[in-house]
Chains A and B, each alone.
Chain A
Amino acid sequence: MAGIVGWGAYIPKYRITAEEIAAVQHADAKAIKAGLGLTEKSVPGKDEDTATISVAAARNALARAEINRKEIGSVYVGSESHPYAVKPTSSIVGEALDIGNTYMAADTEFACKAGSATIQINAGLIDSKMIKYGFSIGADTSQAEPGNALEYSAAAGGAAFLMGPNEEAVATLDFTCSFTSDTPDFWRRAMQAYPSHAGRFTGDPAYFKHVEASTKMILEKSKLKITDFKYVVFHMPNGKFPLRVAKKFGVTKEQIEPGLVVTKIGNTYSGSSILGFASVLDIAKPGDKILVTAYGSGSGSDSFVFTCTKKITAAQGKAKKVNDYIANKEYITYAEYLKHMEGIHQ
Chain B
Amino acid sequence: MFRESPIIRWRNYSDRYRLNGYKCTKCSAAYFEYKGLCTCGNLDFNEVQFSGKGKIVSYTMIHSGPEVFENKSPYCVALIDLVEGARITAQVMDCKYEDLKIGTEVEAVFRKFYASGEKGVIHYGTKFVPKF
Contact = CB atoms under 8 A, between A and B. Distances in A.
Given A47-B112, A47-B127, A52-B124, A95 B17 contact: yes
B122 A96 contact: no
B17 A342 contact: no
A56 B49 contact: no
A98 interface: yes
A8 interface: no
Contacts of B17: 92, 95-96
Interface-centre pick from B49, B96, B121, B122 (highest chain A CB count, 10 A): B122
Interface string B46-70: 0001000000000000000000000
A51 B110 CA distance: 9
Interface residues of B, number: 22
A83 B122 contact: yes
B112 A52 contact: yes
Contacts of B14: 95, 98
B39 interface: no
B93 A47 contact: yes
A115 to B, nearest CB: 18
A330 B13 CA distance: 31
11 contacts: A49-B122, A51-B122, A52-B111, A52-B112, A55-B110, A56-B109, A56-B110, A59-B110, A96-B17, A96-B18, A330-B94
A201 interface: no
Interface string B83-102: 00000000101101000000
Contacts of A330: 94, 96
A45 interface: yes
Nearest to A59: B110
B26 interface: no
Counting contact residues on chain A (CB < 8 A from B), the size range is 20 to 34
Contact of B111 (A47, A95, A328): A47
A49, A96, A324, A330: residue with the most chain B Cβ atoms closer than 10 Å: A96
A288 interface: no
Nearest to A345: B118
Nearest to A55: B110
Contacts, number: 56
Interface in A40-63: 45-49, 51-52, 55-56, 59
Contacts of A59: 110
A45 B49 CA distance: 26
Interface string B71-82: 110000000000
B132 A51 contact: no
A87 B120 CA distance: 12
A318 B87 CA distance: 27
Given A55-B110, A330-B96, A343-B71, 7 more contacts: A45-B93, A46-B72, A49-B112, A51-B124, A87-B121, A97-B18, A98-B14
B20 interface: yes
Contacts of A97: 18
Nearest to A339: B71
A97 B20 CA distance: 11
B124 A45 contact: no
A330 B130 CA distance: 13
A328 B124 contact: no
Contact of A52 (B91, B96, B109): B109
A55 B113 CA distance: 15
A96 B111 CA distance: 10
Interface string A315-346: 00000000010001010000000010011000
B111 A98 contact: no
Nearest to B111: A47
B94 A45 contact: yes
A59 B17 CA distance: 12
Contacts of A98: 14, 18, 20, 49
A98 B127 CA distance: 17
Give the most central of A56, A95, A328, A342: most B CB within 10 Å: A95
Interface string B1-44: 00000000000011001101000000000000000000000000
B49 to A, nearest CB: 7
